[in-house]
């Protein structure tokens, strides 16, 4: 019973900071803050990244605390302010953190970005050209998904926010529900979110567009204040995570495949999208 209470208390301690989207006044001196870009709900973040957090904590011999932000804009701001020691980031945000803030890329997921647009099975929408005057659900305006959607709509002569209504669902966890409930004609998301949805939800929807291998799926980076020794420990732990029992469960659930080396060429793929983030 004491062990169960301790486990529950640990989960609550991890969830509460994420719920409010804020950092405590200062992290403990021996604590590493792992920042996760806000693409999932709080509970999903804790459930998904909790095992990785514990794995990294053992590797560096320090407590690791999960943190996020209420939205992409504030996550970008907090990254720039140095509120995270390590970040797991969307690739275009990761490139910004590297170029602007000096973060060092440690690893990338084996999963490559897959962009998807889905509709209800009974929807009359067959292609993006059918979206004129209709609504599309996207998790965040600063997301790579939003950028890819805008690019694809242009091919059909449509402009997002002019010809197609943009519905901001705050997180990608809500995109599929917005489509199922009829709040949007279609939802734009990545395969990571799609794969994490229940079979029941996926069974009510159909793909109208899927594009694969658009660049690194997730990037892990370290703040420059972390010394070379800690960075090497983190990098080694990330590569080895797939060989642990908890890592195998993590990758089976998330479909991220593994963590592997990331090159400067991998990072440069995101430059066109990162430039959109800083464009006046």
Condensed to tens digits (0 to 9), the pLDDT of residues 115-174 reads 999 999 999 999 999 999 999 999 999 999 999 999 999 999 999 999 999 999 988 889
Q: Do 270 and 126 contact (CB within 8 A), yes or no? A: no
Q: What is the pTM of this model?
A: 0.85
The CA-CA-CA angle for residues 143, 144, 147, to 5°, reads: 95
Paired sense of beta strands 32-36 and 64-67, if any: parallel
User: pLDDT averaged over the chain?
Assistant: 89
pLDDT value at 23 more than 70: no
Condensed to tens digits (0 to 9), the pLDDT of residues 52-94 reads 999 999 999 999 999 999 999 999 999 999 999 999 999 999 9
Distance CA 257, CA 251 (A): 5
Pick from 24-28, 155-159, 165-169, 201-205: least confident = 24-28
pLDDT value at 233 more than 80: yes
Report which of residues 197 and 242 the model is more confident about: 242
Q: Do 220 and 88 contact (CB within 8 A), yes or no? A: yes
The CA-CA-CA angle for residues 203, 205, 210, to 5°, reads: 115
Nearest residue to 190 (alpha-carbon basis) of 256, 124, 97, 93: 256
Query: What domains sit in the chain, N to C, each tagged with a CATH number?
Result: 2-112+216-278 (3.40.190.10), 115-211 (3.40.190.10)
């Amino acid at each position: 019973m004491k062990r169960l209470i301790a486990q529950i208390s640990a989960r609550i301690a991890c969830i509460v900071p994420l719920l409010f989207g804020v950092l405590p006044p200062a992290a403990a001196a021996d604590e590493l803050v792992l920042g996760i870009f806000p693409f999932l709900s709080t509970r999903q973040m804790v459930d998904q990244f909790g095992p990785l957090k514990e794995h990294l904590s053992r590797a560096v011999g320090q407590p690791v605390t999960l943190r996020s932000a209420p939205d992409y804009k504030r996550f970008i701001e907090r990254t720039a302010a140095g509120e995270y020691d390590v970040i797991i980031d969307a690739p275009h945000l990761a490139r910004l953190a590297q170029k602007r803030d000096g973060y060092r890329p440690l690893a990338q997921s084996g999963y490559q970005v897959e962009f998807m647009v889905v509709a209800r099975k009974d929807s009359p929408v067959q292609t993006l050209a059918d979206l004129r005057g209709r609504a599309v659900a996207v998790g965040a305006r600063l997301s790579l998904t939003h950028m890819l959607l805008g690019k694809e709509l242009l091919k059909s002569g449509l402009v997002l926010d002019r010809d197609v209504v943009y519905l901001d669902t705050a997180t990608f966890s809500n995109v599929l529900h917005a489509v199922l409930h009829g709040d949007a004609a279609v939802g734009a998301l990545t395969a990571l979110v799609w794969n994490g949805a229940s079979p029941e939800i996926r069974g009510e929807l159909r793909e109208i567009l899927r594009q694969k291998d658009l660049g690194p799926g997730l990037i892990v980076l370290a703040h420059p204040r972390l010394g070379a020794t800690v960075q090497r420990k983190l990098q080694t732990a990330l590569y080895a995570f797939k060989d642990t029992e908890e890592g195998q469960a993590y990758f089976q659930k998330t479909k991220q495949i593994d963590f592997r080396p990331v090159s400067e060429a991998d990072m440069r793929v995101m430059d066109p999208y990162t430039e959109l983030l800083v464009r006046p």
